[in-house]
Amino acid sequence: MATARFHQALGTAQSHQNLQNSGSHHEFGNASLKLISKAFKADVGLSIRGGYSSCMRKSGVIQASTSQTSVQPVSYSPNNSFDELRRKSSEAALILIRHGESLWNEKNLFTGCVDVPLTKKGVEEAIEAGKRISNIPVDMIYTSALIRAQMTAMLAMTQHRRKKVPIILHNENEQAREWGRIFSEDTKKQSIPVVTAWQLNERMYGELQGLNKQETADRFGKEKVHEWRRSYDIPPPNGESLEMCAERAVAYFKDHVCMTMPLIPSSHMIEPQLLSGKNVMIAAHGNSLRSIIMYLDKLTSQEVINLELSTGIPMLYIFKGGKFIRRGSPAGPTEAGVYAYTRACDFWTSY
């Protein structure tokens, strides 16, 4: 069944949504999804010290079947545990890519949440990343709200074997949704939906944003700057710590809702897509991806601060039997390492 799900033409694309008082209706190709949720509301609170509130479980998980094209939400109940659903889930791929080099990476400036594009080298890194994952199925793409991550995702997909077109979903308002509708079923089937989310943004560096890293170290001292950059729970002035970044990034990844991010539709969260057998690519940033890897690999706070991610290097996980199996090294997997699993399984290479 897992093999059949990899071959199923999900044909996901720009959603057609008719807002109602009780929720919204999404159409992805031939599949439809009813989301029982109200408008997304977020209070970022980046300047508030002490982190975010604890997270609660959110009901609803997407369930896919090879025998039908509809996608039905399944509500959690006390007897229908999340762990049980994970164990019964089908096999899926999860690709993580840190964006290519940005113009401020090149200038050695603190970037954080400032929206800076890629350099020429960053463009080349994104294209090379795409070549490395060109045989791996991709059904959904998630990026941060920042252009460098979005550029990386789009450029990587230009190298994909299936040549499907990534299309950003615009859910800002009803007009954006209506104007972005696709009226050709064939075109929908050759498209991949791209969800952008601020929760996947780089951590906000506060008053360090735009400052030169070396000059900042000379001004405040290397030890203090190292503490701001590499400690887990100490934020820079009026910025986020890695712990605060992890709160929002991991909460978005999982089928949970954090108190600072109420009523996010489960279709816009990542793990439910993997549970349904969809293959997901995430293009994001060093700290938001560190946070997700901390969750996937069950790293400690000390281990995660020593984790380095190279720009433009893809990392492959397999989600199987409710577990994430890492197939590449965060430090910079070789091409052979990334492709090892594709050569071992026919249903990957034949995609």
**Binding-site sequence positions for substrate:** 98-105, 111-112, 148, 202-205, 213, 229-230, 286-287
- Listed in sequence order, the residues at least 6 apart from 268 whose beta carbon sits closer than 8 Å to its beta carbon are 195, 197
CB 270 within 8 A of CB 93: no
User: What is the residue-wise DSSP string for 243-303?
Assistant: HHHHHHHHHHHTTEEETTSTT--GGGSSHHHHHTT--EEEEE-HHHHHHHHHHHHT--HHH
Reading across the β-sheet that carries 323-326, which strands appear in turn? 165-168, 191-197, 140-144, 280-284, 92-98, 314-320, 323-326
Which helix (H) or strand (E) segment holds residue 129: the answer is helix 120-132
Catalytic residue among 27, 91, 99, 160: 99
Q: Distance between CA 279 and CA 289 in Å, rounded?
A: 17
Q: Distance between CA 252 and CA 268 in Å, rounded?
A: 8
**Bridge partner list, 102:** 118
CB 16 within 8 A of CB 171: no
Which amino acid belongs to residue 228? Answer: W
Catalytic residue among 27, 91, 125, 202: 202
Please indicate whether residue 106 is annotated as part of the active site.
Answer: no
Bind-site residues: 98-105, 111-112, 148, 202-205, 213, 229-230, 286-287
Residue for token pair 């977020």: 42
The structure tokens listed for 115 are 């929206």
Please indicate whether residue 16 is annotated as part of the active site.
Answer: no
Q: Distance between CA 23 and CA 305 in Å, rounded?
A: 40
What does residue 67 show for φ and ψ, rounded to 5 degrees?
A: -95, -5
CB 329 within 8 A of CB 337: yes
By annotation, the residues acting in catalysis are 99, 202
